[in-house]
Structure 1
């Protein structure tokens, strides 16, 4: 009888607890339902840095496109097959979902914060908020610039708004560029060096507002140099304005994301090259042969010696023996190697190019060219005497090296931007140097190096009309379809 009474009591309690409202079943009782803007900002920074520095063939093949590295057992990506592994989809998704969406949410939460205290205390907090919002926007602009420079036209004005625009339009790439430059200009004016920003939540600059100003101006310089050939008058004005406002002019201001010594917070290269136990990559003969010709002192910093005692690169675009070729150096395999978003080396080569294009800024093309090479070598720990010797070579010195300014700057920038695959690829696309050839077995019979990613397959399926319009607008969805700024 006791069991029956207990059973009836249990049923009664169960029935009495029932309700027609079942919405609570979707609530996550054991997981956080809110967060802080700082956490979202940090997460966005890490996802962005990881995507830009990774060498996983599922996410980032820019070192391969730049022919700095090639592959061993599986050369598909060196042969420009980027669809089997859905590489464009993954790049697109990480930047929109894991970077831009987190930055947008960080901005939303930050904007909604209500401050209490005295008038002076609230004013101080508002100034910090204003700085944080500007930094968020700067990083947002950087991310969109990567998307445009990868695909061409991309979602922008309707992006990140699933409720109102689940199928966003693809905006004109040049229009996006100009808006990004405008945003960066405003962001710099909104930053106050008398107040803090994200502090320790900022894993690039530790909340240093002055350095974020230089970052924004440097990104503006990069965009201006890119757009220069498409709109010379506008590009010239923006280059000069960015330089006047103050760009990165020494290595201490480099935008380096700080990694830790243990997973999952190591540089992704450590995961791909060391922790994985795999040997999928070797330096490409394209780069190694060029550096051998120049007796470049960075070789020992970039690569190991091959088993035959020389610096030997794997044949680009084919299968290669890992054991018989040079390998990437221990420096690159260090789990704490910083992930670079912008640096002084890149700035000097951009300035050299800008001078040659006609921009009125201090210094000559030669002085900036020399400074770019020097900055790269110093960054990699090359001795001062070796730098002097290298700059004096007749095939390196700006006045005697072969070719036009595009060849001189293009070849040296390509070498200096080693391990920064996206930037090296962009420099190549803009200057058309060094001369890179597609491998004989290139995917779909390609006869030239890709100059963009094709649009993600998922986007073509789920957002068909807008992707189709974008393809028509840019002139095709091929790897060889040039971006608006790639005029020559």
Structure 2
């Protein structure tokens, strides 16, 4: 009888153990995540960070003086420290974008799909991932200067070294060229289920190839003042590879009507219920002086008519000044990371630098403005009328300019207007071309920010590599110009 009881007890213990182990299993979440889902998450995190207006994450729409804060003016006055903005930007790009792209690459590489047709898409998927890797690292270099690169993304290495910014940038261009050339336009990429994993081009490889060429053009132009010969060959190769040729090519990320998949600006300006921003005086004054009809698409009129922007760096009554247009803050407004108007302005810059890109600076400048008008819902006739304005007409404006390099003022000003709502790219263009001139904020804590300062946590946890990087770029200050910002 005793032996029977022991046997029963043993069975009960084994049974209880199995049941307890079962309770410890997470049956709601997947044991592994598909590479396509990781790619989708990284893509959204990237575009969210680029288009965001949240003062904790991205201050560049304020620094480009498209907008002005109403009550809390720290960020309009170039304060990067109070809200640790550099840290948030750094984390978003390294952790939420690059690390997920890296994992997506690993998972897709190791996955055997159910059909030969699906397996055939893997090389294109990996090339698209690489293109977004390049775009993201380029943003980091353009923002900070020297950054972790060759030792980045290794979770076992908590103190990665910082690599030289110019060396990184040239390597990125090489990687971009390889990825672009690897794309097979006869096949799809993230094309399953209508391309739902790719919220920019729905898996269309031909479009990704154009995007890669256009990104290469942008990156080549950025090096024009630091290595003109390299920039020239890069730009000309990009153009020969086939850059954007219409607004249909724009890299527009699709947002949806329901939170959390709305455009972040909708969350910032509508869902928050807050009234933190009005139009900035700098852009409103320029557009008013030019009688630029796009202003009605950018902003709302004030009571009584007309457009008025808040003084940069000062508090601004929400009721007194113009607000962003409802279309700009709509939930489903696409998130733009590269567009045709920008490409045409880049080609205008290239032509002005005597690069062989086909067409004159004026021709590309006119095409850029026309593309911007059309993208904002205006007509070609509207653009023609605007281009005939003496202060806009390329030849007349060049003659009237008192700048040491007149084309930089003329192209730079119109490019900045067209880049409205694209703070990061506008900030980069201002730094490269030095136009238009930004107003000095009322209570500025620094000169115009030429870079984000390094995250404070890097000083604490990666001190020696941080110190070496700060010394290598000159200083860890907002005013420190980066390697590509020579003039």
Q: Is the 8 A contact 1:224 1:239 kept in 2?
A: yes
Q: 1:138 aligns with which of 131, 142, 146?
A: 131
For the residue of structure 2 that corresponds to 1:331, the secondary structure is coil
- Map of 2:381 onto structure 1: 385
The 1-side partners of 2:87 and 2:291 are apart by 40
Question: Relative to structure 1, is the Cα distance of residues 114 and 315 closer, same or farther in structure 2, using a 3 angstrom cutoff?
Answer: same
Q: 1:184 aligns with which of 176, 190, 194?
A: 176
- Is residue 2:300 matched to residue 1:300? no
Larger displacement relative to structure 2 (300-309 or 252-261): 300-309
The 1-side partners of 2:15 and 2:307 are apart by 79
CA offset at residue 15 of structure 1? 9.5
- Map of 1:109 onto structure 2: 107
Moved over 4 A (4+): 9-19, 22-30
CA offset at residue 275 of structure 1? 1.0
Gaps of 5+ in 1: 1-5
Deviation digits for residues 402-443 of structure 1 (CA, Å, limit 9, x no counterpart)? 320000001000111000011111110000000113213112
- Map of 2:188 onto structure 1: 196
- Map of 1:159 onto structure 2: 152
Q: 1:415 aligns with which of 406, 414, 417?
A: 417
- Map of 1:3 onto structure 2: none
Q: Is the 8 A contact 1:101 1:160 kept in 2?
A: yes
Q: 2:72 aligns with which of 71, 74, 83?
A: 74
Q: Is the 8 A contact 1:153 1:173 kept in 2?
A: yes
- Map of 1:329 onto structure 2: 325
Q: Is the 8 A contact 1:127 1:192 kept in 2?
A: no
Q: Is the 8 A contact 2:312 2:442 kept in 1?
A: no
The 2-side partners of 1:313 and 1:372 are apart by 25
CA offset at residue 460 of structure 1? 1.6
- Which structure 2 residues correspond to residues 16-35 of structure 1 after superposition, within 5 A? 28=26, 30-35=28-33
- Which structure 2 residues correspond to residues 430-441 of structure 1 after superposition, within 5 A? 430-441=432-443
Question: Relative to structure 1, is the Cα distance of residues 109 and 392 closer, same or farther in structure 2, using a 3 angstrom cutoff?
Answer: same
Question: Relative to structure 1, is the Cα distance of residues 107 and 86 closer, same or farther in structure 2, using a 3 angstrom cutoff?
Answer: same
Deviation digits for residues 47-70 of structure 1 (CA, Å, limit 9, x no counterpart)? 111111110001011100101111
- Map of 1:56 onto structure 2: 54
The 1-side partners of 2:433 and 2:9 are apart by 78
CA offset at residue 478 of structure 1? 0.5
TM-score (norm 2): 0.93
CA offset at residue 189 of structure 1? 1.3
Q: Is the 8 A contact 1:437 1:449 kept in 2?
A: no
- Map of 1:429 onto structure 2: 431
Question: Relative to structure 1, is the Cα distance of residues 244 and 472 closer, same or farther in structure 2, using a 3 angstrom cutoff?
Answer: same
CA offset at residue 127 of structure 1? 3.1
CA offset at residue 384 of structure 1? 2.9
The 2-side partners of 1:340 and 1:16 are apart by 57
The 2-side partners of 1:136 and 1:240 are apart by 24
- Map of 1:475 onto structure 2: 474
The 1-side partners of 2:284 and 2:13 are apart by 74
Question: Relative to structure 1, is the Cα distance of residues 125 and 310 closer, same or farther in structure 2, using a 3 angstrom cutoff?
Answer: closer
The 1-side partners of 2:114 and 2:340 are apart by 41
Aligned residue pairs total 471
- Is residue 2:373 matched to residue 1:395? no
Question: Relative to structure 1, is the Cα distance of residues 232 and 99 closer, same or farther in structure 2, using a 3 angstrom cutoff?
Answer: same
Deviation digits for residues 167-213 of structure 1 (CA, Å, limit 9, x no counterpart)? 11111111111111101111111110111110221100000000000
Q: Is the 8 A contact 1:205 1:211 kept in 2?
A: yes
- Map of 2:237 onto structure 1: 241
Question: Relative to structure 1, is the Cα distance of residues 31 and 249 closer, same or farther in structure 2, using a 3 angstrom cutoff?
Answer: same
- Map of 1:170 onto structure 2: 162
CA offset at residue 309 of structure 1? 1.4
CA offset at residue 26 of structure 1? 8.7
Q: Is the 8 A contact 1:270 1:334 kept in 2?
A: yes
- Which structure 2 residues correspond to residues 208-223 of structure 1 after superposition, within 5 A? 208-223=204-219
The 1-side partners of 2:271 and 2:111 are apart by 42
Question: Relative to structure 1, is the Cα distance of residues 387 and 474 closer, same or farther in structure 2, using a 3 angstrom cutoff?
Answer: same
Deviation digits for residues 363-419 of structure 1 (CA, Å, limit 9, x no counterpart)? 100001111111111111123332111100110000011320000001000111000
Q: Is the 8 A contact 2:373 2:382 kept in 1?
A: no
- Map of 1:484 onto structure 2: 483
The 2-side partners of 1:41 and 1:319 are apart by 41
For the residue of structure 2 that corresponds to 1:340, the secondary structure is strand
